[in-house]
């Protein structure tokens, strides 16, 4: 069983102070995708401790973004950025996309795991247009990676709730970034046209929720007024091996180590998809 977790840590330093170490010790992920690390590589590796290998891209703007794929077994290869995909140069050094390749036991193929972070955006603004451009490049990159038949997993925070069941107050957010028609249509195309699988939704059923983000402010967490914006998107061959998926919502507000909940999926590599 291969356990892959993705978590927006909202700053690794803060997450360490709030207790991410205890969660890591309890859940024991084999591969860990992180977003909004917001720290130098040395700080990340010290925070995780010994026994982790992987790739981390810092943002060129200090204190912003930052993504990582870390693992218990060293990856075969790692890459930062969106490669030679058209439009990728705009996002070089932005700390939003890293890739790691792993061997698959009993198979000649590869498993490529990606950590992705898309910023929230702002409706009808240049910031939102930048988000759309980034998402377009991401979709192209995913298609390129999946074209050779490898297992592909793209995990992270894309700051989009897909359907009404993916956020509590959907009526009040119809014109807000994160639930705009064009953003939701991007997810439609990724899942319906490109064939990727939203593993958490596939295993958890129709909802509502389970949510993965709640504001620090007010009573959002206490009344479970959240958004589901953290995902594991898998190629069909990998999705067929998914056994369990959970959002690790903290037991209480005081026990949260991020404003996001990790999404943890177990993949049974002893099963072979037909």
The closest of 73, 39, 8, 1 to 214, measured between CA atoms, is 8
Query: What pLDDT, on a 0 to 100 scale, did the predictor assign at position 274?
Result: 40
Determine, yes or no, domain membership for 106: yes
80: β partners: 98
Cα separation, 109 vs 22, in Å, equals: 34
Which domain, by its residues, includes 123? 2-267
Cα separation, 140 vs 236, in Å, equals: 17
Looking at the annotation, which residues are catalytic? 157
Q: How many CB atoms lie within 10 A of CB 188?
A: 12
Residue-wise burial string across 248-269, b where 16 or more C-beta atoms lie within 10 A, e elsewhere: bbbeeeeebbbbbbbbbbbbeb
Query: What pLDDT, on a 0 to 100 scale, did the predictor assign at position 273?
Result: 42
Determine, yes or no, domain membership for 255: yes
Alpha carbon dihedral 83, 136, 62, 178, in 10-degree steps, equals -150
Q: Which pTM does this prediction carry?
A: 0.96
Number of domains in the chain: 1
- Show the tokens assigned to 5: 């977790």
The domain that holds 185 is classified in CATH as: 3.60.10.10
Cα separation, 113 vs 97, in Å, equals: 11
Determine, yes or no, domain membership for 272: no
Determine, yes or no, domain membership for 274: no
Cα separation, 89 vs 94, in Å, equals: 10
Query: What pLDDT, on a 0 to 100 scale, did the predictor assign at position 105?
Result: 79
Determine, yes or no, domain membership for 157: yes
Query: What pLDDT, on a 0 to 100 scale, did the predictor assign at position 269?
Result: 87
Determine, yes or no, domain membership for 273: no
Parts of the chain with a pLDDT under 50: 273-274
Query: What pLDDT, on a 0 to 100 scale, did the predictor assign at position 83?
Result: 94
């Amino acid at each position: 069983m291969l356990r892959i977790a993705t978590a927006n840590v909202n700053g690794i330093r803060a997450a360490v102070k709030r207790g991410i170490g205890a969660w890591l010790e309890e859940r024991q992920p084999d591969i860990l995708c992180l977003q909004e690390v917001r720290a130098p590589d040395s700080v990340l590796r010290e925070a995780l401790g010994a026994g982790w290998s992987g790739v981390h891209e810092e943002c060129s703007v200090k204190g912003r973004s930052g993504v990582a794929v870390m693992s218990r077994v060293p990856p075969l290869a790692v890459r930062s950025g969106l490669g030679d995909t058209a439009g990728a140069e705009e996002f070089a050094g932005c700390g939003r996309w890293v890739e790691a390749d792993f061997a698959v036991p009993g198979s000649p193929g590869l498993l490529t795991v990606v950590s992705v972070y898309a910023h929230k955006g702002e409706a009808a603004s240049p910031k939102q247009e930048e988000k759309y451009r980034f998402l377009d490049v991401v979709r192209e990159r995913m298609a390129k990676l999946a074209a050779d038949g490898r297992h592909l997993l793209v995990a992270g925070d894309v700051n989009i709730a897909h359907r009404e069941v993916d956020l509590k107050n959907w009526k009040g957010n119809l014109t807000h970034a994160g639930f705009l028609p064009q953003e939701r249509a991007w997810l439609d195309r990724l899942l319906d046209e490109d064939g990727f699988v939203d593993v958490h939704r596939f295993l958890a059923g129709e909802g509502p929720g389970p949510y993965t983000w709640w504001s620090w402010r007010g009573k959002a967490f206490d009344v479970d007024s959240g958004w589901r914006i953290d995902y594991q998107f898998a190629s069909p061959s990998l999705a067929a091996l998914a056994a369990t998926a959970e959002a690790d919502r903290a037991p209480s507000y005081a026990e949260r180590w991020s404003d996001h909940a990790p999404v943890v999926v177990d993949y049974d590599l002893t099963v072979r998809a037909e």
